[in-house]
Amino acid sequence: MKKAVYPGTFDPLTIGHLDIIKRAARFVDELHVVVADNYKKTPTFTSEERMDMIRRVTIDVPNIVVTTTTDLVVRYAMKNNIDLIIRGLRNIQDYENEYALYQFNRNLYRNIETIILFPSSRNHFVSSSAIKELIVHHADISPYVPKEIIHDVQEKFRPKLDPTT
């Protein structure tokens, strides 16, 4: 059985993430979508909320396992007999970060491979940070967030929004 892991913060999940998930799932028997917390980021959604959102938008993809880890993704892969990491690459800044991660991961687990999937042209600029910015400024996020979770994403920010601005 060929397994892969697609890790991310997914805070919130975007259509770009969903595109990568659905495409990656076609190449493996089992795709582990792992909500991995990044110590450099303070997530808006809990790990459980992010996993729930991923499950709701991937209900039509039967070979997905949605889980979370606070450990290194490469260790998660080792513990679960996974030797393939899927990553998305949007721009040159992502490239530099992904290349460094690839080197660290290979040093920790020699059998791990990383496959880069490029986003479709309509998703190459979509990021969770941009989604948050749009919400704060009362802009429409429907082109960038799966319809099943738009309400969740908007509600999470609603207390922070001042309707008079």
* Candidates 17, 32, 87, 132; catalytic one: 17
User: Exposed/middle/buried for 74, CB within 10 Å: 0-12, 13-18, 19+?
Assistant: buried
**What does the pLDDT read at residue 41?**
79
- What would the pLDDT profile of 107-130 be if each residue is shown by its tens digit? 999 999 999 998 876 766 788 888
Q: Please give the model's pTM, rounded to 2 decimal places.
A: 0.89
Q: Which position among 32, 50, 87, 128 bears the catalytic label?
A: 128
Q: Which two tokens stand for residue 7?
A: 């890790």
Q: Which residue in 2, 41, 55, 79 is the catalytic one? A: 41
Concatenated DSSP letters of 83-131: -EEEEE--SHHHHHHHHHHHHHHHHH-TT-EEEEEPPPTTTTT--HHHH
- With cut-offs at 50, 70 and 90, classify the pLDDT of residue 164: low
Residue (of 18, 11, 22) closest to 50 by Cα position:
11
C-alpha closest to that of 57 among 126, 155, 163, 148? 148
* pLDDT tens sequence across 58-112: 999 999 999 999 999 999 999 999 999 999 988 777 788 888 999 999 999 999 9
Average pLDDT over residues 132-144: 89
Place of tokens 């499950």: 55
pLDDT value for 156: 86
H/E stretch holding 78: helix 73-79
Complete domains list, the chain, with CATH = 3-160 (3.40.50.620)
137 part of the active site: no
Q: Could you confirm whether 151 is annotated as catalytic?
A: no
Token pair listed for 17? 């993430």
